[in-house]
Structure 1
Amino acid sequence: MRRLLAALGVRRGEGRSTFLLFGGFFLIVAGVITGKTARDTFFLARFDRTYLPLMFVAQAAFVTATVPILTRISRSLHLSRALFLGAVITAIPLALAQLHVEGLVVPAVYVLVEVATVVVMTQFWLLSGSIFHSRQAKRLYALVASGGSVAAIAVGMGVRPFVATFG
């Protein structure tokens, strides 16, 4: 195992943090891909594609409004708590939306998934930056980010049965 870690550029004392960040990014990217796939499917099944430009404008507006709030919250909390809080704040409305995926809930979910993506990704990389110093980051960020690539492959392969079942 030591040889593998050494070959990947992971030095003594960095393995745990690197592994946890790899796993965290894997989960975030898996959630983002799944969320965006579901959001697009629900939206396009219920609304005409001509409404997509309006959704892009709404996404930009909500992301722009959210970033200053995120900045204020992040200053008062430790980054790991801010990341957890951001995930919980976005998970609750998404869980509630499952109860009624009709009407204006669908465009709201469309926008919320994008806002959640920006918030959680930003917080993740801020947290990563607080864990590793610049030399470590140069060596380890590619490995951490590869968690996202592995997630894309896994979700891409794992979504096939759902597409066959649900269309």
Structure 2
Amino acid sequence: MKFLIDELEDRPRAATFLTSLANYSNTIPTADDPDVKPVPPARMGTLIGVYLPCIQNIFGVILFIRLTWVVGTAGAIQGFLIVLTCCCTTMLTAISMSAIATNGVVPAGGSYFMIGRALGPECGGAVGMLFYTGTTLAAAMYIVGAVEIVLYGKL
């Protein structure tokens, strides 16, 4: 917030308004107009782009459907420990991925390209196969969970 206050002290609102009036142009901007600034691409940010997708994967449909079964089978304390272990594993994975991602911009290919570049082609291929298998099984489990909700859900 301090940087906004410093900016207002350096350049008051009236000066900003008068500058925008002085630089006003009534022409329609074209693609080759040098005065046109490129529009920055929309970014989703940390909360919507990173945090919410990770939480959606952590708290998937299987957790909500099978959590009562896990607690009934293992007990409350052991069920809590199972969920805590899963969350710690997910957090460790997220921290490792963020450490690898800080090496630069990740082009098309996403996490597979990033892991393959960081670990080399041999490990990248093995991790890619595991990533593919995990994504396939997760999709199958989401479908099973959705079908269970439709079949056994009481509305």
The question of a shared fold, defined as TM-score above 0.5 by the shorter chain, is answered with no
What range is the shorter-chain TM-score in?
0.3 to 0.5
- Which structure has the highest helix share of the two? 1
Q: Which has the higher contact order (CA 8 A, sep 6+)?
A: 1
TM-score when scaled to structure 2? 0.35
Q: Which structure has the larger Rg?
A: 2
